[in-house]
Structure 1
């Protein structure tokens, strides 16, 4: 039986998820994995609201996987160490992950690629998962980046985005890998009372509502904070609970 690991990072969703789609298509069983890495917290990302929103996203992702016959495997520790351990436990030959774009994410990706190769395993990195266009694909002649937004936007708008992918109908997870307990919002102290509920279901609901009711006036009202006219999608896009590519297709269709 062939097994593949899907490492979730800033892409906490089932719809339009190229790494998950590739793994489900190519392997008999898939291990959906999220690693709570202390290095991320040490980098300043352990704010209460962020941890609570993340807990919502992970709970919703696990619920969606269980509806499809699977589950989310959560580990605590160094990401590279834990991914390699899960791959060994399950005999996985490949690990699928969304391309990272920060210096931290790229360094982690390089370490993971080397560690897996040392075990005879492969890392499959997928572009355009957390962004519509892979960073660096849109550049002006004679330079590696645009310095002015308007010409960048014109060039970016001319790049055809990939078609969104459906959520898998079934996710078969092998029984071997153990999982830590999912973090819960209730265990996080200091959370703002008005913090939105995280997760893909809530994010997709908000996206549909904004497309139907807020998109037409967005150009004029997107800075109207007092008028509550913003999309309120930022945290869902940040955690990847909503696909930027799918949002673009829906907006253009509107």
Structure 2
């Protein structure tokens, strides 16, 4: 059996429910990232942001390779590229981490619909957020909270899954599958515009997490707004691209996660 793992904002191997589910019982695993032109040319696109993404993907490929797999790269719209890849490798299932934006939901629905005629089972998994059941964070009337205190009570009491480590090994790619290459920034008609950019990748992310959690963060609440002080976590870009698991970060932070 061959499973596809469609990677988007979950560029890591630690605490990755979709990765764990995709590798379970599979003879071959195809971790794929698709460069969607709609996002590469979106209003949030920039050279530094895209370079950070490329570094995240390079680091992820190294982690996958060390475990017997590789990152597969495709260019185009996911609703076209993912079904084409599924046909090529004769995939029986496709796994991904569910997202909540309108763009993501519509895109994911199109991909699922395109896979249906081929009989590919589509599985959505948690992993992008601290709490899996976001719909549970609502009032008794089923509406979003508008007052912080009851929201905070619901947040702190919400059920959480346990974070897991990285798998030691992964199923290989199907024989003969061309993995493809990551593009260079210039090939995407972008350039790095920051003199000292923050480096991307899960290894850097985990090092930053360890520094933040073990360092002198007693003044975090006061220093985080002072631009002249190194008082922030510097974890935001890693969380955005999923180089860190929000659930693992909260679990490691312990009770301090609710006070900072």
Give your verdict on TM over 0.5: yes
1:115 corresponds to which residue? Answer: 114
C-alpha distance in 1, partners of 2:43/2:247?
28
8 Å CA contact retained: 2:51, 2:192: no
Q: How many residues align?
A: 252
2:165 corresponds to which residue? Answer: 166
C-alpha distance in 2, partners of 1:148/1:215?
28
C-alpha distance in 1, partners of 2:114/2:27?
23
Matched, 1:225 2:227: yes
8 Å CA contact retained: 2:70, 2:179: no
8 Å CA contact retained: 1:53, 1:185: no
1:94-243 correspondence runs (5 A): 94-127=93-126, 129-134=127-132, 135-171=134-170, 172-184=172-184, 188-243=190-245
8 Å CA contact retained: 1:214, 1:231: no
C-alpha distance in 1, partners of 2:163/2:144?
27
Larger CA deviation: 61-70 vs 158-167 = 158-167
C-alpha distance in 2, partners of 1:143/1:222?
34
C-alpha distance in 2, partners of 1:71/1:169?
14
C-alpha distance in 2, partners of 1:51/1:102?
20
8 Å CA contact retained: 2:129, 2:246: yes
Cα deviation 1:116-164 (Å, max 9, x = unaligned) = 111111110012x111113322111114201123321221111132111
C-alpha distance in 1, partners of 2:29/2:145?
40
Cα deviation 1:165-220 (Å, max 9, x = unaligned) = 22111122223332331134576413311210000000000000000004443233
Relative to structure 1, is the Cα distance of residues 193 and 235 closer, same or farther in structure 2, using a 3 angstrom cutoff?
same
8 Å CA contact retained: 1:9, 1:34: yes
Structure 1: 5+ residue stretches without partners: none
8 Å CA contact retained: 2:48, 2:191: no
Report the TM-score, using the length of structure 2 for normalisation.
Answer: 0.91
C-alpha distance in 1, partners of 2:57/2:27?
24
C-alpha distance in 1, partners of 2:67/2:164?
16
C-alpha distance in 2, partners of 1:6/1:174?
13
Relative to structure 1, is the Cα distance of residues 220 and 113 closer, same or farther in structure 2, using a 3 angstrom cutoff?
same
8 Å CA contact retained: 1:3, 1:29: yes
C-alpha distance in 1, partners of 2:250/2:217?
11
8 Å CA contact retained: 1:56, 1:184: no
Larger CA deviation: 54-63 vs 153-162 = 153-162
Matched, 1:90 2:110: no
1:41-80 correspondence runs (5 A): 41-80=40-79
8 Å CA contact retained: 2:22, 2:95: yes
What is the deviation of 1:225? 2.8
Relative to structure 1, is the Cα distance of residues 103 and 214 closer, same or farther in structure 2, using a 3 angstrom cutoff?
farther
Matched, 1:9 2:11: no
8 Å CA contact retained: 1:164, 1:246: yes
Matched, 1:38 2:37: yes
C-alpha distance in 2, partners of 1:65/1:184?
20
What is the deviation of 1:239? 0.4
